Structure 1
Amino acid sequence: MATQHTYRVIVRGKWDGLTAGSREKLLAEVDEHGLAQMQFTPEGSLAYDTALHSFSYRYVIVSDAADGEEMAAALAEDKAETALRAAGLGYRDLRSTATDMDTMKINRKSR
């Protein structure tokens, strides 16, 4: 069995072709998607502001370590695309960054 690693992935994109109804819905829910609500979750955490220019999703992805950060990023982008399509929201320019939490070095302050 392959070793599983946990990745934190941030998927960023820009809103595109939002309808008046979509813009209205996003603006009505903007307080639920601000900086204070950003967290990494398996379901994804959507963040954006009232300018409705760009957005980000934060995901926790668990996948085979051999597949690396590239696969984790691709899985997160796929989840983001699925969520955006299901909500009927237009987007473009998706890009992502992934961090392998199992290989991250933690620098502890010495006493």
Structure 2
Amino acid sequence: MGRTVRVTVRGSFDGLSEAQVAELRAGAAAHDFMNTQYTAEGYLAYDLARPFFTFRFAEVVEGPDEVAAAGVRAQVKAEAWMAEHGYPIKGVSVQTVDMAEVPLGKRGRREASRQP
């Protein structure tokens, strides 16, 4: 059974042209921070007022030793997507969370205790 890893790749847009800003504004509703999710393809959210972006990825790995590699893969995907679309970026950082290491809340402990 694999372990789910959530990877967050953050950065800033760097010197977008007016046309690029207009393009991003046109698609802003589909990339709202209030509707974020972790997906295999990566969910892009951005705020042009600051101008920051965040990609959120979910990946299943076999063991804890693969968590860091999932972060590297996510960063490569995010940077490739930005380059493919011609968006210059800077200050990229990556955060990985192994969901198997996240403590369960009260509800999660109750549900886990019910499973055989």
- Corresponding residue number in structure 2 for 1:75: 73
Secondary structure in 2 aligned to 1:102? helix
What stretches of structure 2 of length at least 5 have no aligned partner? Answer: 111-116
What is the letter of the counterpart of residue 58 of structure 2? V
Distance 1:107-1:37 versus aligned 2 partners, 3 A rule? closer
Instruction: Looking at secondary structure, tell me which structure has more helix per residue.
Output: 2
Of residues 47-56 and 20-29 in structure 1, the stretch that sits farther from structure 2 once superposed is: 47-56
CA contact (8 A) 2:64 2:98 kept: no
What is the letter of the counterpart of residue 9 of structure 1? V
**Higher-Rg member (1/2):** 2
Q: How many residues align?
A: 109
Compute the TM-score of the two structures, normalised by the length of structure 1. 0.85
Per-residue deviation at 1:15? 0.3
Q: Which runs of 4+ in 1 moved over 4 A?
A: none
What is the letter of the counterpart of residue 42 of structure 2? G
CA contact (8 A) 1:61 1:75 kept: no
CA contact (8 A) 1:7 1:100 kept: yes
1:33-67 deviations in Å (ceiling 9; x for gaps): 11232100001111112315111011002234243
Per-residue deviation at 1:69? 2.9
